[in-house]
Chains A and B, each alone.
Chain A
Amino acid sequence: MSTTATTIGPAAQPSAGPRAFLNRLRSGDEVAHVLTLVFAASIVLITSLLVYDLWANSGLSRAKFGWMFLWTRTWDPIFENFGAAPFIYGTLVTSIVALIIAVPLGLAAAIFLAELAPRKLSDTVAFLIDLLAAVPSVIYGLLGIFIVVPLMRTTLGPALKHVLGFLPLFSGPNYGVGFLTAGLVLAIMVVPFIISVSREVLLTVPRDQREAALALGATRWEATWQVVVPWARTGIMGSIFLALARALGETMAVTMVIGNDPKIKASLFAPGYTIAAVIANEFTEATGDLYLSALIELGLVLFLVTFILNGMARLLILATERGGGRPS
């Protein structure tokens, strides 16, 4: 506690005689308490300011379109008719596709690294994964354009069509760009988060738990899957929600591979659009007041979508915990 307070202190009040200030900090917990409280409160303040600003600046659009904004399927900057439905749909679909791919992959990798791999290998791979998490999203976008898009058009897409073409999800023309490609690129981007956090959580499961399970005659896999993973479930869920949040708000990489066409189509091969992508694409050149206001309202909608999904996630965690999820 005191170490954090001493590093924060001088930055906050450089002129008030640093030495005297340090002494006061060392002598009483109150100062540290107040400081940490202020910093914690600033998060609440920033969030409320953000919502207030989005709310206030989207007034024109809210007044004109009302709730219809949420399910109107047109986005026409010239005739000033705006609706968010295609963007909400695109945001949800790409994020869900990303999670469907990334969760099994990330979880399996985390279990291997935490439970089965030799410690040295596990640490090396974990280091590489942390590096991956720090790669800027535009790099993932370029990777998408030059590798995933051609792969989807020439190999992956036709193969999927061949096997699952009878489903509406995998029918229609395949341009290489679209919901599926965007979901795939997003999955590659969020997998490091899931692996990194889940591995850490799995490593904190007490050794007693494993040994007890093994002593009762469980195989190594049974001990891992039935004892260690359930113990770490809350943390693993946390890693998934972190991944979801990143997927919902991702802009650059998505706009480079999704095709940027605001339409709602059942096919995953069809081009689509996401909320974050349209804001980034059109904000700089938006000249009309209503146009700008509608873009800001999209920001508000994205905030709401994230808020609702996070709330649902919390409820899910609560529900599973009440059902006696964690063995203790």
Chain B
Amino acid sequence: MKKTLPFLLLLGALAATAGAQSSGNVLVNAAGATFPYPIYSKWFDVYHTQHPNVQINYQSIGSGGGIRQLLAGTVDFGASDGPMTDEQLSQSKVKILHFPTVLGAVVPTYNIEGVSAELNFTQKALVGIYLGTITKWNDPEIAKSNPGVQLPSADIVVVHRSDGSGTSYIWTDFLSKVSDDWKNKVGKGTSVNWPVGLGGKGNEGVSGLVKQTPGSIGYVELIYALQNNISFGKVQNASGKFVKADLAGVTAAASGAAKDMPEDFRVSITNSSGAATYPISSFTWLLIPQHLDDATKRDVIKDFLKWMLKDGQSYNEGLSYAKLPKPVVDKELKAVAQIQ
């Protein structure tokens, strides 16, 4: 009992000094997508060392949570792997602007006994496999794009993400674009009603299941596949070419879409045109309110956005994220001025 009193005093003193230190500093709170978290935390960290009085606190709670917290006004800005829907935007009191930050891609990974070749997947093949209409590895739709590969007649075990994720959003967005059947039956979203397959939790859950299960196919983020040396197949793009995902191909997809980029940046770049384009890729966005009451916070956010679009982009490739193409950066820099 007697020992606790000095302890409490000490705690109080500590709290008081902490309070004194934080005055004059700017603390910005943000929450949202988990996929870009590694690059965001790098950016916020570097920005903090350059501006010691600015602390941006980002919680990677998921895109859905980020949008909800932004709408509830508990964070200063949000982040999402999928653009906000019109319905969500209409729920917000202030107008919300989308700013693409980096690009991500999703790749098919598989495990077939006796096959070590890099497989080519047509768009039809991927749709058929995930719809459950293609059930054997030696199906003509798979075989015709892989001449010379001895495909077994084994059953295909489909693996997808069980947790709601931007990775599933990009994957289903691509399938919806290339197949009306998929669009009408399943649709696109962070979680969907999968016609077939097993669910693995996270990229590690999907790749773990694929590694262990003979005859399986799954999808993971490109960055995850690169960092963990997971081999993956080529995917047919809109020009009919089979492209293996790499950072340049993803940036190419964004350049292809930059020509007809809408004013609010809410654009899907899956299956966009161009011979070198990797078709299953997407932007990830920061969600910034157009009007902020707190002038210091507003200036900090605007300055951070400008820094992120110029200097920040140079950190991308070290962390396996694709850079934004130049036309998109220019367009975004103009949009930063809209924040008031």
Contact = CB atoms under 8 A, between A and B. Distances in A.
A281 B212 contact: no
A258 to B, nearest CB: 9
B13 interface: no
Contacts of A59: none
A76 B157 CA distance: 21
B128 interface: no
A78 B189 contact: yes
B133 interface: no
B193 A78 contact: yes
B62 A285 contact: yes
Contact of A281 (B1, B63, B193, B201): B201
Given A259-B199, A261-B199, A281-B201, A286 B64 contact: yes
Interface string B1-38: 10010001000000000000000000000000000000
B165 A285 contact: yes
A175 B61 contact: no
A145 B208 CA distance: 8
Contacts of B67: 287
Contacts of B65: 284-285
A268 B177 CA distance: 36
B208 A282 contact: no
A327 interface: no
Interface string B170-198: 00000000000000001111111110011
B192 A78 contact: yes
Given A10-B4, A255-B201, A153 B212 contact: yes
A91 to B, nearest CB: 16
Contacts of B197: 261
Nearest to B80: A287
A282 B189 CA distance: 11
Contacts of B264: none
Nearest to B85: A287
A181 to B, nearest CB: 11
B233 interface: no
Contacts of B198: 175, 177, 259-261, 271
Count chain A CB atoms within 10 A of each CB in B88, B162, B201 and give the residue with the most.
B162
Interface string A255-277: 11001110000000001010001
B55 interface: no
Contacts, number: 91
A77 B191 contact: yes
A153 B111 CA distance: 15
A175 B154 CA distance: 13
B164 A286 contact: yes
A284 B201 contact: no
B193 A284 contact: no
A210 B246 CA distance: 74
B163 interface: yes
A24 to B, nearest CB: 15
A256 B65 CA distance: 22
A136 interface: no
A77 B200 contact: no
B217 to A, nearest CB: 13
Interface residues of B, number: 37
Interface in B52-86: 61-65, 67-68, 85
A10 B209 CA distance: 53
A176 B155 contact: no
A74 B213 contact: no
B192 A281 contact: no
Contact of A284 (B1, B64, B162): B64
A153 B190 contact: no
Given A76-B192, A78-B187, A259-B198, A281 B162 contact: yes
A110 interface: no
A177 B209 contact: yes
Contact of B88 (A77, A153, A260, A287): A287
Contacts of A259: 198-199
Nearest to B166: A285
B129 to A, nearest CB: 16
Contact of B163 (A176, A273, A285): A285
Nearest to B214: A153
A227 B207 CA distance: 53
Contact of A78 (B1, B64, B186, B201): B186
Nearest to B194: A261
A61 to B, nearest CB: 16
A255 B162 contact: yes
A173 interface: yes
A287 B15 CA distance: 37
A256 B205 contact: yes
Contacts of B186: 78
B191 A285 contact: yes
Contacts of B4: 10
B64 A285 contact: yes
A77 B189 contact: yes
B240 to A, nearest CB: 29
A230 interface: no
A18 interface: yes
B312 to A, nearest CB: 26
A19 to B, nearest CB: 9
Contacts of A277: 162
Nearest to A277: B162
Nearest to A76: B193
Contacts of A79: 187, 193
A259 B162 CA distance: 8
Given A18-B1, A285-B163, A285-B165, 10 more contacts: A10-B4, A77-B164, A77-B189, A77-B192, A78-B188, A173-B155, A175-B198, A177-B209, A260-B201, A281-B201
13 contacts: A74-B193, A77-B192, A78-B188, A79-B193, A153-B213, A259-B199, A260-B201, A271-B199, A281-B163, A281-B199, A282-B163, A284-B62, A287-B64
Interface of B: 1, 4, 8, 61-65, 67-68, 85, 88, 155, 157, 162-165, 186-194, 197-201, 205, 208-209, 212-213
The 8 lowest CB-CB distance pairs between A and B, nearest first, are A285-B164, A260-B199, A284-B62, A260-B162, A78-B187, A76-B193, A285-B64, A285-B190
